[in-house]
Amino acid sequence: MDFRIIPVILSLMFVSILIISSYSSAGTSEIVDESFFTPVVGNQLQRFLLGWGIYLFFAGFDYNKLREWAWILYATMLVALFGLFFTDSIQQVHRWYRIPIIHAAFQPSEGAKLIVVIALSWFLERKSHQSSTWNTAFGGLLIVGIPFFLILKQPDLGTALVLYPITLVMFYFGNIQPWVIRLMTWGGALMLSIVALIFLEIVPHESVRSYATLVMKEYQFNRLDPRTHHQRASATAIALGGLTGTGWRNSDYTRGGWLPFPYTDSVFPSFGEEFGFFGLVALIALFYALIYLSFQATAVAKDPFGRLLSAGITVYLAIHILINIGMMSGFLPITGVPLILVSYGGSSILSTMAALGILQSIYSRRFMF
């Protein structure tokens, strides 16, 4: 096993607990929980413990057997995503299943991203002898496209868009028709350019509203406005942290309630206010180490399935980090993409630990034929 990744994961989990403890203890002057282990911290620790169990299971599991389960997992995922539309909405969206016994909610779209990687890896390996044909490209796009539109319909644009770079990289490793990769690259670059022009106010935000709302919802278009409260609050929290931060539980801005979702979506700026620029650099270094070590599995994988699977999983992890840090630093519009292993939330933690366990399985079997 690659034991180097264990302290990296533990360090990220420790950062998560620090931030959750700090901001879940905040309240009015009459209601403040001074203990370290707040109820929210307890919930996160339970999820981490369950996540380690899942990690060890998949690390010991032979990843080659995932070929046999690929389409069963894929079909189960589609049923779960489709079934969301027959449940009661939570916060006016259909993203979660309520689990009444343990009073929790499960978000199937988090696991769907990992299952899409598994199914696409199986398909691209199976079609490796005809990888450059248009039929193979169409089949791969269909595998990704069905869950993409189901997730988009929830609606959850941020999660759906994560599938785009994952597919692009896996198509590259799978030697898909070069024109498909070029078209996807150009399409992605064009989309990012349009978003950047609006988000950086080179093109006035309101001048394109009538056109943009033809293809996206009103609230999604409003996220392209860099002057929203959430965007300004994130930048302010990071700026107030300075070089060394205000200190743990000493932030006035975030603990005062000015930054929305301080230990879920906005965990990066809330950490920055308390631990400053140097703290954020250390956090980014941990994420760099996580992605670097994850790519080691791709480098040593001995079969096409393992190579595709590890590459897709690593990009799945990396894109979450890039999007969350980018949107909280003012470079990207804010969407609901969690910062893996740090943001509060069970579905993301369990999916991430399963993905890391599969990577460990690929790495540990690098000498097996």
Per-residue pLDDT at 95: 78
Preceding amide of 100 cis, omega within 30: no
DSSP string spanning 84-111? GGGS--BTTB---EEETTTTEEE-HHHH
Q: Which residues pair with 99 in a beta bridge?
A: 104
Report pTM.
0.91
Q: How many domains does the chain have?
A: 1
Instruction: Indicate whether 52 belongs to any domain.
Output: yes
Per-residue pLDDT at 65: 92
Instruction: Indicate whether 30 belongs to any domain.
Output: no
Q: How far is CA 16 from CA 9, 272, 320, 341, 347, in A?
A: 11, 13, 16, 7, 15
Q: Are 255 and 278 within 8 A, CB to CB?
A: no
CA–CA dist 310, 116 (Å, integer): 13
Show the tokens assigned to 182: 């070029």
DSSP string spanning 337-367? ---TTTSS-HHHHHHHHHHHHHHHHHHHTTT
Per-residue pLDDT at 27: 56
pLDDT under 70: residue ranges of the chain? 26-34, 90-92, 101-103, 368-369
Please name the residue that has the structure tokens 């690390």: 59
Per-residue pLDDT at 91: 65
Instruction: Indicate whether 223 belongs to any domain.
Output: no
Per-residue pLDDT at 189: 92
Per-residue pLDDT at 30: 45
Instruction: Indicate whether 119 belongs to any domain.
Output: yes
Q: In terms of residue numbers, what domain contains 145? A: 11-20+39-176+228-365
Q: Which residues pair with 97 in a beta bridge?
A: 106
Q: Is 1 exposed, middle or buried (0-12, 13-18, 19+ CB in 10 A)?
A: exposed
Instruction: Indicate whether 185 belongs to any domain.
Output: no
Per-residue pLDDT at 31: 47
Instruction: Indicate whether 199 belongs to any domain.
Output: no
Instruction: Indicate whether 182 belongs to any domain.
Output: no
Side chain identity at residue 348, one-letter code: S
